[in-house]
């Protein structure tokens, strides 16, 4: 088993199998395999379509709450509040992108684990 279905592992965008290897190697780019245990993150074509739901689940509450707070403080028209929150939200987009994929991988592996990493571990440099 050995999956790390833990908030801290997800928060730090780590591998669901070993809990150590980083899922992302840059802001927008994923490692194809876990750098520690070799787990292949993308299980098949279109695998990350499911991550879309997590990005909605993360994005919509942030934007809704943000809009309400701005609207409540400024008493601006709603469209203006929404606009401001969208602009403020933009820097969070890469985070939402990474977090939604991370959560998706973790939930998918938790409910549908497979036995062993498919690829042998990559030698560490």
Q: How far is C-alpha 87 from the chain's CA centre?
A: 21
| End-to-end Cα spacing for the chain | 27
Tell me: does residue 23 bind Zn ion (CB under 5 A). Answer: no
Q: Which of 37, 70 has the CB closer to Zn ion? A: 37
Nearest Cα to Cα of residue 38 among 54, 17, 11, 52: 17
Q: How far is the CB of 67 from Zn ion (least distance, A)?
A: 38
Interface map 33-72 toward Zn ion (x if CB under 5 A): -x-xx-x---------------------------------
Tokens of residue 75, six digits: 């008493």
- Chain residues in the site for Zn ion (CB under 5 A): 15, 17-18, 21, 34, 36-37, 39
């Amino acid at each position: 088993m050995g999956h790390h279905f833990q908030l801290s592992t997800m928060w730090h965008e780590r591998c669901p199998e070993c809990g150590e290897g980083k899922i992302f190697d840059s802001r927008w780019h994923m490692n194809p395999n876990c750098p520690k245990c070799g787990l292949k993150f993308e299980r098949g074509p279109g695998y990350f379509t499911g991550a879309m739901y997590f990005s909605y689940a993360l994005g919509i509450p942030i934007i809704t709450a943000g809009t309400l707070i701005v609207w409540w403080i400024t008493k601006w028209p709603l469209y203006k509040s929404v606009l401001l929150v969208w602009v403020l939200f933009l820097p969070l987009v890469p985070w939402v992108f990474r977090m939604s994929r991370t959560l998706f991988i973790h939930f998918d592996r938790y409910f549908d684990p497979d036995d062993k990493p498919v690829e042998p571990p990559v030698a560490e440099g």
